[in-house]
Amino acid sequence: MALPPNVNATDFNSALNAWRQTVGAEWVFTSDEDVAMYRDAYSPWWDEPEERVASAAVAPSTVEQVQAVVRTANQYRIPLYAISTGRNLAYGGSAPVYSGSVVLDLKRMNRVLEVDERNAYALVEPGVSYFDLYNHITEKKLALWIDPPDPGWGSVIGNALDGGGGWTASPFRDHFGAHCGMEVVLANGELVRTGMGALPNAKTWQHNRWGFGPWVDGLFRQGNMGVVTKMGFHLMPRPEAMQMMTVRVSQEQDLIPLVDTLNLLENQHVVNGSTQLSGSFGASPAGAPATAWSAQAPVYGPERVVRAQMEHCRELFSRIPGARIELGDLTRVPLDEAALARVRKVNFGIPDLSTFGLLGRSAADPSPQGGHIDFSPIIPRTGEAVLEYARFYRENLAAVSEGGALRFLGPVFMTNWDRTMVAMIMFPIGRDKTHNARMRAAFVKWVELAAARGWAEYRAPAGFQDVCAKSYSWNDHALTRFRETIKDAVDPNGILSPGRYGVWPKHLRNA
């Protein structure tokens, strides 16, 4: 059995015994076989000494048990790493950021506590997956949609806490942004409710997210200040219909008015669906410049409003010289069987797993690596920025890809959030250590090159969180120091998810 760093065997055994008392012996995992379940299947350090691995895992089923587990960890100074469903593939899986931490596995806490159709919200526990919430809503025949990310097996809470996003309408696609109210266990075991939830007998915990005084929920997004045991989310009332417009332009300079028009329509909330921007750029290893671009603009709402909004979209897009506009069929909701077979399910609030076919075996890639990690820098949402990123990619590709020997996937320009886009590059990762090492070096290179241009990541795989956090260095890393000050105050023994998103407790900061 592995020991957590800086913890002796006597103390660890005392803690394990205390946890067995708390959660039941069958929910404390120490065997190699059990602990291996918490490895990151997409780890770019797989089977290498630097791979982030757990020493043990403990799986409570109630909030009181979480409090007791955390108190014990605090007593013996044992680092914990909280996960909800732990399916954070491409960003670290269920493995801890700090190797040797004990995984605090919350997937047994899987109750949908409340779904309110009239005010369109849900209150859930960490183990509730998108499939669970969808099934609950479907069984109760509620006219509500969830907003799933591509893989529907993940946790509504875990995905939001890692900064994840989905594919239906704004503002529900930004999962942390759509949350309303939290319950959190702090490092000393104390239980806190945020926003209106701090009011005993609160009537509006999931209605109003701000409450009274400084808003603290942001500390728990990509943070390590507490263990979240409940979270509320605003849900989208089921729309009547969805229709999509596709606009194609053929000249490079037309990309600029294309993105500007898309932005205007989204900022006016005329287009509310998850838009897509596609170009031929990047499709070849040589990163040839795009000769054609297209934008997809979906609108959800009542049928006659959707039709009117599409007319407005047509009017604005037709001002772009040479733009070819295609209006797709209007899809009515709930979907009939023919529509269900045709559409991308996640765009209609239906959880799915077909995304895993994306990087699977195909004619083009008969022996895929099996996994991938994502480089996800945020860039401005303008045509100029896309063209600059295209030039940046072309200029650096040969050097970073070792003269074309390494194949990356992308860039993909994801416009599914307001105001910015994510220029994602995917790095295939497998079990070949030499290949993985080259991909790791390429990843760090892209991070550094992008940071020099003023672009940085919105989210990163666990092993690269430090290098990405270092990009946010304005005023001699003032933001990191501020976060460290808070960390030291709320978790003085540094037991909660040390190192997550580059925030280390005092005793590990210079290690």
* Residues 16, 24 contacting (CB under 8 angstroms): no
Verify whether residue 87 is a known catalytic residue: no
- We find the least distance from the C-beta atom of residue 163 to ligand FAD, in angstroms, to be 7
Nearer to ligand FAD, 309 or 497 (CB): 497
Instruction: Name which of 33, 322, 275 is nearest 169 in CA terms.
Output: 275
- We find the least distance from the C-beta atom of residue 298 to ligand FAD, in angstroms, to be 16
Helices 383-400 and 433-452: crossing angle, nearest 10°? 140
* Residues 113, 197 contacting (CB under 8 angstroms): no
Nearer to ligand FAD, 84 or 471 (CB): 84
- We find the least distance from the C-beta atom of residue 123 to ligand FAD, in angstroms, to be 14
Active-site option among 38, 81, 91, 121: 91
Nearer to ligand FAD, 126 or 383 (CB): 126
Nearer to ligand FAD, 220 or 392 (CB): 220
* Residues 238, 120 contacting (CB under 8 angstroms): no
- We find the least distance from the C-beta atom of residue 165 to ligand FAD, in angstroms, to be 5
Interacting residues toward ligand FAD by CB under 6 A? 82-92, 94, 106, 126, 149-151, 154-155, 157-159, 161-162, 164-165, 227-228, 355-356, 358, 497, 500
One-character DSSP codes across 106-129: -TT---EEEEETTTTEEEE-TT-B
Verify whether residue 91 is a known catalytic residue: yes
Burial class (CB in 10 A: 0-12, 13-18, 19+), 501: buried
Helix (H) or strand (E) holding 324: strand 324-327
H-state helical runs in 403-495: 433-452, 465-471, 474-490
Active-site option among 20, 71, 324, 458: 458
- We find the least distance from the C-beta atom of residue 48 to ligand FAD, in angstroms, to be 20
- We find the least distance from the C-beta atom of residue 303 to ligand FAD, in angstroms, to be 28
One-character DSSP codes across 349-418: T----GGGGTTS--SS-SS--SEEEEE-EEEESSHHHHHHHHHHHHHHHHHHTTTTTS--EEEEEE--SS
Nearer to ligand FAD, 73 or 89 (CB): 89
Verify whether residue 458 is a known catalytic residue: yes
For residue 72 the two structure tokens come to 């014990």
Active-site option among 209, 381, 440, 459: 459
For residue 44 the two structure tokens come to 């770019």
Q: How far apart are CA 126 and CA 132, in angstroms?
A: 11
Nearer to ligand FAD, 149 or 282 (CB): 149
Among all residues, which ones are annotated catalytic? Answer: 91, 458-459
